[in-house]
Structure 1
Amino acid sequence: MEHAAAKTETIKAPRKDLHQEVTDTIIRQLENGVIPWQQPWKDFGQPLRLPVNFVTGNKYQGINTLMLWTSSIEQRFSSNEWATFKQWASKEEFPRKGQRGSMIVYYSTFEKENEDGETENIPFLKSSYVFNRCQLTSYERPKRPVDEYAETLFDKIPPVEAFIENTQAVIEHGSDEACYHHIDDKIYMPYRSDFTANAVCTATEGYYSVILHELTHWTGHSDRLARGKGKRFSDWDYAVEELVAELGSAFMCADFGIATIDKGNHSAYISSWLKALRENKRYIFTAASEANKAVEYLKKLQVN
């Protein structure tokens, strides 16, 4: 009697849904009342800074900025320097035993033949892991400064003032609130003296974080980036645009090395953002990408 050859079946593990994994990370933070682009403290006098690859010197962008900020806030990293294991090893630096890397994502492509027999490049999301300088065996946490927080008066920061002026946006001061009016194509701001300091940011930083928020809204006008227009963004609502402006301001503040203001109305925004994130796993990717485009647009308006 012949015995039938035993059949083996290879069960493939389901492919990771990276869009969902990243979105779940942001959702977890928001559910805990933490906004990943607003660090609730100044670690050793440093506001939240744009994460940078220590080896290449390149700044991480878009969704990766949010992912690394999230990791920094969760683990209280005071450094903004990141690199892969191999990159750190090339500099004879190594993560401490038991340290886990933080995920970043990037797009790659694969070739696929379509119905017409033509080859198409199909984009897909891939992941990699990086380690913060604070996770290295050589890292020593600096001593906390002796001086305590003290309120300061508004003091202009020339590079930020020049950046705002070079956009040539129409800005009127004296309003009871900060807002961008799409029809008038104007930004309305309270007087600089109306801004107060708190434990997170100075009055100066508060003013600049708000006006950079409104400038991000300003880039969405139909004569500029036309954000919210067209089929792709036909389902955008106020909460989505507000998130783009929040991220745009956070990216620019980090670039200038200033803190972002605590607006005091986080609960309403968090609720709307959570709803959108749960309904659309690509929401945060799109918002981060559009915020990045807005920042790049504003940078291009700067005089050389």
Structure 2
Amino acid sequence: MRQTATRPASGKHGSRNKDDNRPNLYQEVTSRIIAELEQGQFPWVQPWGRATAGVGLPRNAVTGRCYSGVNILILWGAVIEKGFPSQHWITFKQAVGAGGFVRKGERGTTVCYADRFIPKSEAERTAQDGDEPATVPFLKRFTVFNIAQCEGLPDDLAREAEPLPEREIVPHAERLIKATGADFRIGGEQAFYVPARDFIQVPPQPAFHEQINYYRTCFHEIGHWTGHASRLARDLSGRFGSALYAREELVAEMASAFICASLNIIPTVRHADYLATWLDVLRQDDRAIFRAASQASKAADFILGCGEGVETDAVEREIAA
């Protein structure tokens, strides 16, 4: 939850791409996600209980790089739907380059690649005028395969995350919360972030019926915290019930899910009561889920980046003390 404060929106809108394929791909992915939401299924919170793959962010098996944005939702959905035992993916060429191959008859999963380019005419104009060139966004699709669809790959391409220990305090989650440096206050009966005063408050962990929900809630609120003007500068001025408010809640929901998955904590829905508003937003704008997922990935990367290089046993010593 977020307490609202007025702050001007930031960012620039690029010019629209006239490529006919791009709107089709936007609509294709958006329609798929709307269909899941209409059935009460949240793409960023998959039914991991019936999955054979461990919880984690999908990543490229060769580069080790995690997929981001809407591609996380697409690949999580494929892992659950097709029962893949791994969160690792690879392109056809990468499989061959690694000494393996995709089995005959296997169908890949379509993911998206977004970037920007400078048209030739624009480059020529700015070369004469000395202006900054206007870039044009584009969206392309390409196909990846789960490593379970391949043979002959080296064993080290299939390493999965270790499962969480069965305990209520999750030390690496505690370390990450501390590493953000956020003004984090424990108390009260509600969890919220106050943009105007830049602090987070969450109830004490024993107040949660399932104590693991404490961490899911913490990362939801820290997701909002990343939107402050001094950090990722999202527009946090939306009032409760507005589309802008719902969009920010969607970002925080997915950011929490992405962080939890990276920490091997099963994500859950923290604010399902926004479902109707989220559906309205997605139906009105087929790019909304792409923007929200991209912002959620940036928020998750920002938070996870805070934890890099943190001393591994610092929090355990504090807890023990």
Instruction: Say whether the 8 Å CA contact 2:84–2:148 is kept in structure 1.
Output: yes
Q: 2:298 aligns with which of 293, 301, 304?
A: 293
The structure where helix makes up a greater share of residues is 2
1:111 and 2:115 matched: no
Task: Classify the secondary structure of the residue corresponding to 1:103.
Answer: strand
Higher mean Cα deviation, 247-256 or 91-100? 91-100
TM-score for both structures, normalised by structure 2: 0.73
State the Cα deviation string for residues 59-98 of structure 1 (Å, max 9, x = none): 1112211221122232232310101122223334344443
Q: How big is each residue's C-alpha offset from its partner over 1:168-209, in whole Å with a ceiling of 9 and x where there is no partner?
A: 212222221222122332212121112234xxxxx33x2211
Structure 2 unaligned segments of length 5 or more: list them: 1-18, 128-132, 154-165, 310-321
Letter in 2 for 1:182: P
Deviation string 1:189-237 (CA, Å, 9 cap, x unpaired) is 121112234xxxxx33x2211101100111112333221169xxxx951
CA, structure 1 residues 188+45, in 2 after alignment: closer, same or farther (shift >3 Å)?
A: farther
What does the per-residue CA deviation read over 1:106-145, in whole Å, with 9 as the maximum and x for residues that have no partner? 1343523149834755331111000112333679xxxxxx
Q: Distance in 2 between matches of 1:222 and 1:161?
A: 25
Largest Rg, 1 or 2 = 1
Task: Give the whole-Å Cα distance in 2 for the aligned partners of 1:38 and 1:47.
Answer: 14
2:143 corresponding residue in structure 1: 129
Q: Which amino acid aligns with 1:66?
A: L
Change (3 A) 1:255 1:153: closer
Match of residue 188 from structure 1: 201
- Higher RCO, 1 or 2 (CA under 8 Å, sep at least 6)? 2
Return closer, same or farther for 1:179/1:98 CA change in 2, 3 Å cut-off: same
2:157 matched residue in structure 1? none
Q: Quick one: which amino acid aligns to residue 112 of structure 1?
A: K
Tell me the residue number matched to 1:251: 258
Tell me the equivalent position of 1:30: 37
Q: How does 1:6-45 map to 2 (within 5 A)?
A: 15=21, 17-43=24-50
Q: Secondary structure at the match of 2:296?
A: helix
> Cα 1:47–1:113, aligned 2, differ >3 Å: closer, same or farther?
same
TM-score by length of 1: 0.77
Change beyond 3 A, Cα 1:45–1:101: closer
Q: Give the Cα separation in 2 of the matches to 1:84 and 1:115.
A: 33
> How far apart, CA to CA, are the structure 1 residues paired with 2:82 and 2:214?
29
Contact 1:220 1:226 in 2 (8 A): yes
Structure 1 portions without partners, runs of 5+: 1-12, 140-151, 198-202
Question: 1 CA distance for matches of 2:84 and 2:123?
Answer: 50
In the alignment, structure 1 residue 239 sits paired with structure 2 residue 239: no
Q: Secondary structure at the match of 1:113?
A: helix
